[in-house]
Amino acid sequence: MTHRPLPRPYDLSIDGLTVTIAHKPIKNLYLRVKPPYGNVEISAPLRMSEERILGFVRERRSWILRQRQRMEDALHRSVDSLQQAGGAPATEENSRGHGQSGSGDRRPLEGPANPAPVFDRSAVWTEERKRQAGEAIDAALPSLLAAWGPVIGRTPTHVTLRLMTSRWGSCTPRTGRIRLNLQLGLMEPRFLEYVLVHEMTHLWVGGHGAEFQRRMSAYLPNWRQLRRELNRRVVL
């Protein structure tokens, strides 16, 4: 028995929004607005008509634009924090005030659903800036580990710093290794502390269920507020 290959995803312009549509062997239609740039993606049943997809997207246009605006605001906050901490150069798009009026107020995105980045990642993450971020984390880690090790009851066997594309940190409980995003070195110190405590808690608990939350609340009572603040930034 042979299986037919799935149709290839394609882009469709819907009232000024570029939507990537992928037909799959599923029963329901799913809409995603993906960070950090607000790319709009639709997963649709194999036999669903384009007309139904058009109507679905049009019904949810306001929600899509709100999500994209939220993501653009988060992207600007992240770029701004790097500029303040490390003097990151503005790209041509950023210097024009992408997504902003001349007075600085943010306007909802009305252009393509796959906008270009408002920064040049290679220009932001120069070797000098990586060094600066790494040195900032290395300087803070000894005191943070000394303070939190006794509280949490476990310490990592090794801490690695690296640029990450979608996470602030990660942990491998089996080996005790923790990885931290270099970007934390150019952000407010409270975020480095929060991410470190979060990953050290994973040395006890793998996952984010009730036990993880109980431990986090005991270690760092304001962790939910810190998480909300961090969620307003994006990984660059």
pLDDT, tens digit, for every residue of 16-75? 999 999 999 999 999 999 877 788 999 999 999 999 999 999 999 999 999 888 888 877
- Nearest residue to 13 (alpha-carbon basis) of 129, 132, 110, 131: 110
pLDDT above 80 (res 209): yes
Provide the pLDDT for residue 71: 82
User: What type of residue is 104?
Assistant: G
CA distance 160 to 79: 23
Q: Tell me: pLDDT of 4 over 80.
A: no
- Assess whether pLDDT exceeds 90 at residue 106: no
**CA distances to 36, 37, 78, 84, 194 from 122, in Å:** 16, 17, 15, 18, 27
- pLDDT on residue 1: 52
Q: What is the pLDDT of residues 5-32, one digit of tens each?
A: 888 999 999 999 999 999 999 999 999 9
Q: At what angle do helices 210-219 and 189-201 cross, to 10 degrees?
A: 130
pLDDT, position 105: 31
What SS3 class is residue 109? coil
Q: Where are the alpha helices (DSSP H) in 29-180?
A: 50-59, 61-86, 92-95, 121-124, 127-152
DSSP state letters, 8-45: PPEEEEETTEEEEEEEES-SS-EEEEETTTTEEEEEEE
**What is the pLDDT confidence band of residue 112, given thresholds at 50, 70 and 90?**
very low
Instruction: Report the alpha-carbon distance of residue 171 to residue 158 in Å, rounded.
Output: 10
Looking at domain 127-232, its CATH class is: alpha beta
Phi, psi of 125 (to 5 degrees): -95, 65
Q: Region 82-97: what's the mean pLDDT?
A: 43
Q: In the chain, what are the domain boundaries?
A: 10-80, 127-232
The pLDDT of residue 173 is 95
Helix or strand run (H / E) with residue 180: strand 177-181
Residue with tokens 């962790």: 223
pTM score: 0.63
